[in-house]
Amino acid sequence: MRTAICLTAALLMAGCAKFPSTGAGSQFQHVIFRMRVAREIRPDYVYIFAIRVSDQVNPDTNGPVPVISYPNANGFVAGQPTHYVIFDPTLSRPYVIRRFVRTSEETNPPDPTSPIDLTKWTDVGVPINETDPQAGDNTLSFEITLDQLGDSFLAAKDMRSMQVNLLTMNRISTSSGAGRVIDSLGDNRSVNEVNDFVTIPLTTSRVFDNQSFNFVEPTSDSPADTDCPDPDLDIVDWSVEVRLP
């Protein structure tokens, strides 16, 4: 199921804060993310938009998947993500874009094909637009541009798709023990469907949502019938909108 956190201490320790980019506007695609939970967004829970960008239209890589058990690399995301956006209302800006560091980044010259280290990340920007939910609100949304996810101008221009997963949890998995609740795309009641993620093409302007992917995320008005027993973590609707420059 799904997990959330008080991330200021746990997640900020892994990366250095810097904000070199807030989007370049008209030269790159804009991508708008939206996630709605069954009841409300809680400031003490963890809400993450996990991303893997690719220069392939149909990448064969393993996209972001939720961390289900302990031990693990970071307590919240596994698979092969390149970035994630976290909602943390304790920060000066409630959404932060973070990039996972490659193992060769401290070498000279760095190898851009080296493996990604899921224990290290760095802050690379903030969304160009965002909604800061108030008490009782149940939706998170923000807008970024692809240059905020690229290591260079050319890398951002070459992006053809992104693999996306939405992760909610009451705490990150930093230790063993019961009581952790998580949600992510897919039916968390089935071990065969808990690792679902979606591939979003970046080559056309379109809104991709739950219906576009055959309702990959189950929805229900009754918490007892959903894949997540906590309505503040239960993802009931989502969309990713791509706008070409």
Domain boundaries, given as residue ranges, for the chain: 7-243
> Can you give the pLDDT at residue 216?
79
User: pTM value?
Assistant: 0.86
> Can you give the pLDDT at residue 223?
47
Q: Which two tokens mark 100?
A: 């996972």
Per-residue pLDDT tens, the chain, 245 aa: give them: 333 333 433 443 344 333 344 554 568 999 999 999 999 999 999 999 999 999 999 999 899 999 988 889 999 999 999 999 999 999 889 999 999 998 877 776 667 778 899 999 999 999 999 999 999 999 999 999 999 999 889 999 999 999 999 999 999 998 888 889 999 998 766 555 566 899 999 999 999 998 888 777 776 544 455 678 899 999 999 999 999 99
The CA distance from 243 to 43, in Å, is 30
Q: Which two tokens mark 65?
A: 């998947």
> What's the sign of the alpha-carbon dihedral 197, 146, 25, 18?
positive
The CA distance from 66 to 220, in Å, is 21
CB atoms within 10 A of CB 141: 18
Q: Which two tokens mark 50?
A: 């996990």
Beta bridge partners of 87: 47, 95
Q: What is the DSSP string of 7-23?
A: HHHHHHTTS-----BS-
The CA distance from 152 to 178, in Å, is 43
Beta bridge partners of 165: 50
- Which amino acid is present at 103? T
CA distances from 216 to 130, 144, 213 (A): 25, 24, 6
Bond before 109 cis per omega within 30 degrees: yes
CB 14 within 8 Å of CB 172:
no
The CA distance from 23 to 29, in Å, is 10
Bond before 71 cis per omega within 30 degrees: yes
The angle formed by the CA atoms of residues 88, 92 and 95, to the nearest 5 degrees, is 40
Q: Which two tokens mark 196?
A: 């679902």
CA neighbor of 95 nearest in space, from 65, 131, 139: 131
The CA distance from 218 to 223, in Å, is 11
Q: Which residue is associated with the tokens 């991303």? A: 51
